[in-house]
Amino acid sequence: MGQTLVEKIINAKAIGRSSVGNPAKPGEIVTCTVDLAMFHDSSGPRRVAPRLEALGAKVWDPTRVVVVTDHFVPAVDIAAANILKLTRDWVRDNKIAHFYDMEGICHVVLAENGHLTPGLFAAGGDSHSTTGGAFGCYMAGYGATEMTGIMVTGEIWVKVPETIRVTWSGKFGTGVAAKDIMLHLCAELGMDNSFKVVEYDGDTVTDMDMSERMVLTNMAAELGAETGIIAADATTVAAIKTAGGTPPEDALEWRSDTDATYVAEHKFDAAVLGPMVAAPHAPANTKPVGAFEDIAVDQCYIGACTGAKYGDLKMAAEVLDGRSVAKSTRLLVAPASTKATAQAAADGTLAILTKAGAIMMPTGCGACPGMGAGILAENEVCISSTNRNFQGRMGPASSEVYLASPYSVAAAAVTGRITDPRTFLT
């Protein structure tokens, strides 16, 4: 019987198991060796270091650890500054091989620096670690104590997940993006797909660049999935090489067998999908943008690992080219990485945004997790290209966040109300 891509990776890494000899099946619990472990300034050293000290243990393999500062950057108060200093000191003292200090959001930085390759088993101290699956690897998120366990042993237990296959065919219409797919899927599949993996395929997916594919795997977290994954193709291999990484020779062989068993298979047509918006306070509260067109917004936010990569900034610029941000609202743009900022600066994308009146914010997680600049006031309404609109996440419990694509956030910035971005695109 065939195996899914995720079953193959887990069996390749599971101690005492193998895909050909005695493969573990969905539902079985196995222990896997970890190829790469990543954490950031919030979940990482400040929480892991005291635990390692209490155990008297050392990092099992500093060459396999990546640390990124992104949640408390740049420091706005002494508490944040101390957290960042602790992070830098720990990285130095433990001779961690890969440290990215204020270079961008961890999931984007991993991709930009060639760390993710097909067949890899990776663990991240952040729930959106699912993003890594866009590169055909298994990457899931864990809490700080469990990341401490990985630091000591280099291993983690996994209940082999069942795989949900999601196939998208057809070409996007104008003003539609991967984000609209994910908001639609949150409503269709629900947010409670625990201990399952979502594998994406179909020509809509293979036509996407890595930036858009990463939106699909990033928001697998909102589906409640173990992770999301997309089999590698020529686009993946080229992106890894451009990023300075080394794709394995068998990169294209890491894919589900044609006779693999899925727990469910869903097929969708991208050509009939329009811009989608998720109302407060859950990503599953999704309807077509037209359902919300009377809603005034105090803030428009382009940010986070989901919606502020270079490609996302380009989408916003397409809408904002030659237009201005309405006086009744404000547009904050926090690019997902310094590389994204540099690329957008080089080709004029940033000039379009700033000329329109966008306020440029530091690279980092920013307002998305409620830790950086751009927090909402009581009863304020925001439309955001981020991934979560949980009550109290980006501000007080009375504030409201609508989730949408960068196109739709930019369109709302022009009018001050939730607006179909196709109004401004031809």
Q: How far apart are the first and last CA of the chain?
A: 48
Rounded to a whole number of angstroms, the minimum distance from the CB of residue 186 to other proteins is 11
Decide if residue 125 touches other proteins (CB under 8 A): yes
Q: Choose the binding region for other proteins from 189-197, 201-209, 272-280, 295-303 (rule: CB under 8 A).
A: 189-197
Neighbours of 62 (CB within 10 A): 14
Decide if residue 17 touches other proteins (CB under 8 A): no
Could you give the C-alpha distances from 289 to 85, 94, 257, 317, 411, in angstroms and in order? 43, 49, 38, 19, 11
Decide if residue 103 touches other proteins (CB under 8 A): no
Pairing relationship of beta strands 330-333 and 359-360 according to DSSP bridges = parallel
CB closer to other proteins out of 211 and 227: 227
Rounded to a whole number of angstroms, the minimum distance from the CB of residue 16 to other proteins is 14
Pairing relationship of beta strands 286-288 and 276-278 according to DSSP bridges = antiparallel
Rounded to a whole number of angstroms, the minimum distance from the CB of residue 275 to other proteins is 24
The contact pattern for other proteins, residues 140-179, with x = CB under 8 A and - = no contact, is -xxxxxx-xx--xx---x-x--------------------
CB closer to other proteins out of 77 and 249: 77
Residues of this chain, 259-288, that bind other proteins according to CB under 8 A: 282
Decide if residue 224 touches other proteins (CB under 8 A): yes
Q: 123, 402, 103, 119: which is closest to 240 by C-alpha?
A: 119
CB closer to other proteins out of 247 and 283: 283
DSSP three-state, residue 40: strand
Q: Of 45, 118, 395, 406, which lies in the binding site for other proteins, with binding defined by CB under 8 A?
A: 395
Decide if residue 33 touches other proteins (CB under 8 A): no
Decide if residue 27 touches other proteins (CB under 8 A): no
Distance CA 84, CA 46 (A): 9
The DSSP line for 224-284 is: T-SEEE----HHHHHHHHHTT----TTGGG-S--TTB--SEEEEEEGGG---EEEPTT-TT
- Note whether 11 and 17 are within 8 A (CB): yes
Site residues (vs other proteins, CB under 8 A): 29, 42-43, 47, 51, 54-57, 71-72, 77, 79-80, 83, 125-127, 129, 141-146, 148-149, 152-153, 157, 159, 191-192, 194-195, 224, 226, 282, 369-371, 375, 388, 390-393, 395, 397
